Amino acid sequence: MQQQSARERLLHGINDRGTNVSGNSAAMNNQAVSKTHMKTKKAKSKTFKENLIGYGFISPWLIGFFFLTAGPLVFSLIVSFSDYNITSKMHFTGLDNYKRMFTADDLFWTSLWNTIYFVVFSVPLTTAGAIFVAVLLNTKIKGMKIFRTIYYLPAVLSGVAVYFLWMQLLSPGTGLVNLVLSWFGVDGPAWLFDPSWTKPALIIMKLWSVGGGMLLYLASLQGVPESLYEAADLDGANMFQKFFHITLPMITPIIFFDIITSTIGAFQVFQEAYVMSKDGDGGPAHSLLFYNLHMWNNAFEVFDMGYASAMAWILFIIIMILTLINLKFGKRWVHYEGGDNK
């Protein structure tokens, strides 16, 4: 939920980044250039003071960045070439961790496959679902506010309780999902107990909270000028033509960011699998052993920090490559209203 609003703000932030230069200090600088030596010196100390205050204000984040992000990132790269396990001294083992990952650890490939499966299905489905719901909720009908609340509510709910709820809903014998399926004469699967249905089960759960993404699209749909639809009405365009030729192109920037951020999010699927399989064992036939769960088990069950760090870096590289691909191909289909594809 947080992520979703973040995306949107990210989008706008890039557009107006750095446009706010205080007129006051700019004038001060100009003055400094044109006036006497004494004044230049004075202006210099003024700039120094400004820098000091500026860095003072952002210093909490700077400390966090160096100690909790950049530092750990570099350290984990070093550790990934060692057999470090927290208690022992660090022995450098070269590329051993990476070699083991790619050649000797079958579960690495299982976890990677499970994760890719989850990403490939959950990202397009939740994106399409969010757009669909947002378009419906953007209709002018009385009582729409209530619908918006209802559709958003599941997205607010998270944590272990929600996973428990879905474990009950998906329970093969007495759960709601199979009960509803039985009304239609469908014999529901065993969901979390059947290796081939565990991941679809998780994806269904994700679709339940599609309202988070919906809110993001709803806000951008409300920004589409009414005049475009009126013009299309005059041309006799139908509902689907209007959707595919006006609505969809107008919201491509949001779709673009939604896809980038939800891909990153989906690659990090962990808590669901940890809670919904028995204490993180990855479910039946390792079908819920996602990449991060495997990394977690290596790091915090057997304390093989070297191997876990190597896994973290491979994940980092995979996500970087995917994001770059997204950014590259994004240019082809993302429509920016200004027209100058920035």
Partner 1 sequence: MKMTGAPKLYQTMKFKRNVKNGFILLILLAGSAALLTPLWWMISTSLKSPEEIAQFPPTFIPEKFHFSNYIKAWSTGPFTRWALNSVFLAVVTTIGSVLINSLVAYGFAKLKFKGRNIWFVIVLATMLLPGFVTMVPQYMLFSKLGWVNTYLPLIVPSFLGSAFFIFLLRQFMMTIPNEFIEAAVMDGASHLRIWWHIMLPLTKPALITVAIFSFNGSWNDLLGPLLYLNDESMYTIQLGLQTFKGSVQTQWNYLMAMSVMILLPTVLIFFIFQRFFIEGSNLSSGTKG
Does residue 325 belong to the site contacting partner 1 (CB under 8 A)? no
Torsion over CA: 110, 112, 113, 114 (sign): positive
Among 13, 231, 302, 329, binds partner 1 (CB under 8 A): 13
- Whose tokens are 């093989």? That residue is 304
Does residue 109 belong to the site contacting partner 1 (CB under 8 A)? no
Residue 214, beta-bridge partner list: none
Among 34, 37, 94, 173, binds partner 1 (CB under 8 A): 173
Taking the least distance from each CB to partner 1, the nearer of 154 and 195 is 154
Among 200, 270, 284, 334, binds partner 1 (CB under 8 A): 270
Taking the least distance from each CB to partner 1, the nearer of 24 and 36 is 24
Among 82, 114, 127, 261, binds partner 1 (CB under 8 A): 261
Per-residue DSSP letter, 335? P
Among 95, 120, 161, 285, binds partner 1 (CB under 8 A): 161
Does residue 300 belong to the site contacting partner 1 (CB under 8 A)? yes
Contacts for 138 with CB less than 8 Å, ≥ 6 apart: 218, 221, 222
Q: What mask, x for binding partner 1 by CB under 8 A, covers residues 65 to 104?
A: x-xxx-xxx-xx--x----x-x------------------
Residues within window 179-238 making contact with partner 1, judged by CB under 8 A: 179, 182, 208, 211, 215-216, 218-220, 222-223, 236
Taking the least distance from each CB to partner 1, the nearer of 287 and 293 is 293
Among 97, 267, 273, 287, binds partner 1 (CB under 8 A): 267
Q: Which stretch binds partner 1 (CB under 8 A): 30-38, 64-72, 113-121, 240-248?
A: 64-72
DSSP alpha helix (H) spans, the chain: 2-16, 23-34, 37-64, 71-79, 96-99, 106-137, 144-156, 160-169, 176-183, 198-208, 211-221, 226-234, 239-242, 248-250, 252-267, 271-276, 291-296, 305-333
Among 32, 116, 128, 136, binds partner 1 (CB under 8 A): 136
Taking the least distance from each CB to partner 1, the nearer of 180 and 285 is 180
Q: H or E segment at 120?
A: helix 106-137
Taking the least distance from each CB to partner 1, the nearer of 18 and 185 is 18
**HSE (side-chain half, CA atoms, 13 Å) at 31:** 14
Does residue 23 belong to the site contacting partner 1 (CB under 8 A)? yes
DSSP, residue by residue, 218-257: HHHHTTS-HHHHHHHHHTT--HHHHIIIIIHHHTHHHHHH
d(CA 191, CA 176): 12
d(CA 283, CA 273): 8
Residues within window 32-61 making contact with partner 1, judged by CB under 8 A: 47, 50-51, 53-58, 60-61
Burial of 286 (0-12, 13-18, 19+ CB in 10 A): buried
Rama region for 339: left / alpha / beta (φ>0; ψ in -120 to 50; rest): left
Among 101, 112, 130, 137, binds partner 1 (CB under 8 A): 137
**Three-class secondary structure of residue 131 per DSSP:** helix
Taking the least distance from each CB to partner 1, the nearer of 36 and 141 is 141
Residues within window 140-159 making contact with partner 1, judged by CB under 8 A: 141, 147-154, 156-159
Closest CA to 202 of 162, 147, 231: 162
Q: Which stretch binds partner 1 (CB under 8 A): 102-110, 189-197, 261-269, 281-289?
A: 261-269
Q: Which stretch binds partner 1 (CB under 8 A): 34-42, 102-110, 173-181, 184-192?
A: 173-181
